[in-house]
Amino acid sequence: MGDMSDTTLPEARPFVFCHMMTSLDGKIMGRYMSSPGVAGAGKVFYDLAFGEDPYYRHQGWLSGRVTTDDNFTHYRAPVLDENAAPVPEGDFVAVSDAEKYYISIDASGRVGWESAVLTYQTTTAHVLEVLTGQASNAYKAFLRGLGISYVIGGDEEVDFALLLDKLKGLFGIDTLMLGGGGVLNWSFIQAGLCDELSVVIAPVADGSSDTPTLFETAGRTSDTPRGFSLQAAEAREGGSVWLRYTVDNGEN
Ligand SMILES: NC(=O)c1ccc[n+]([C@@H]2O[C@H](COP(=O)([O-])OP(=O)(O)OC[C@H]3O[C@@H](n4cnc5c(N)ncnc54)[C@H](OP(=O)(O)O)[C@@H]3O)[C@@H](O)[C@H]2O)c1
């Protein structure tokens, strides 16, 4: 990992950093994404966390269900066998020593995976699903059939503190990237479980009122304000700016 001497590392759970690219107007998706002005920022974003000599060296990145469907699984329905034999209770560890995990928050078990391995540009990762007690036996059997690991993150809602303990204890994840979207990011910030924020701002905007921003409550979490302490601000390639903050957890 890069220089994090200015950050107090938690001991019992992974270090969590949220790493995102935004437009100048704070959007994380939308028409600005296809504008040529976003290319430099996109490369800076990728290289910082996934490049050959990254600033952040993490063992996994975490995404919300919409992000997974938008980028990887394209809203496919899972192929389920409703008559599958009952699977054992609890978590399923298919691979405990992957170099990288893609951790998919999918409380009710909806994502239509086709493989346990995912490719993101030059990065290959083992898929790890985060379910709750709401996920069906058929969905868990489906994941087992594909060799996809899963953890039960809670009964009805995902308990993110419990999830972080499991990611560290079962999969050896010491540094975790929180990778959006806005709903998931804000869930972690509100729970006080995100240590650092890294934002690469692209020099473009589209002014849309219909696209998500870096943080979204989406009626799921509270809008209690949070403060951030600036650690670094750098002008980077293609007119982008990289901002790095620690999260003022415990202070509003
Ligand atoms: N610019 C960037 O760097 C960047 C990075 C990542 C993503 N994105 C974009 O962001 C967009 C999606 O963002 P988004 O904010 O709409 O959605 P999101 O956070 O990706 O996904 C929201 C869904 O994730 C699950 N989820 C989130 N928080 C949860 C919680 N606290 N407990 C349980 N489940 C939770 C829920 O799934 P269920 O509905 O199944 O309950 C929720 O509907 C995508 O288009 C993606 O491409 C951009």
| pLDDT band per the 50, 70, 90 thresholds, residue 11 | low
In this predicted structure, what is the pLDDT of residue 9? 45
Ligand 1 atom, smallest distance to 220 CA: 31
Report long-range pairs for 50-56 (Cβ below 8 Å, ≥24 apart): 50/120, 50/121, 50/122, 50/123, 54/2, 55/1, 55/2, 56/1, 56/2, 56/17, 56/19, 56/175, 56/177, 56/198
Task: Name the band, by pLDDT with cuts 50, 70 and 90, for residue 12.
Answer: confident
- At 31 the pLDDT is 97
- Other beta carbons less than 10 A from residue 108's beta carbon: 14
pLDDT in tens, 96-152: 999 999 999 999 999 999 999 999 999 999 999 999 999 999 999 999 999 999 999
Q: What does the pLDDT read at residue 6?
A: 42
CA distances from 48 to 17, 41, 54, 172, 244 (A): 12, 11, 5, 22, 12
Question: How many C-beta neighbours within 10 Å does residue 55 have?
Answer: 17
**Domains of the chain and CATH, by start:** 12-58+181-252 (3.40.430.10), 60-173 (no CATH)
Protein residue with least CA distance to atom 48, ligand 1: 28
- Could you tell me if the CB of 129 is within 6 A of ligand 1? no
Answer yes or no: is the C-beta of 220 below 6 A from any ligand 1 atom.
yes
- 194-226 per-position pLDDT tens digit: 999 999 999 999 999 999 999 999 999 999 999
For atom 5 of ligand 1, which residue has the closest CA? Answer: 180
How far is the C-alpha of 51 from the C-alpha of 241, rounded, in Å?
18
Global pTM?
A: 0.93
> pLDDT at residue 2 above 80?
no
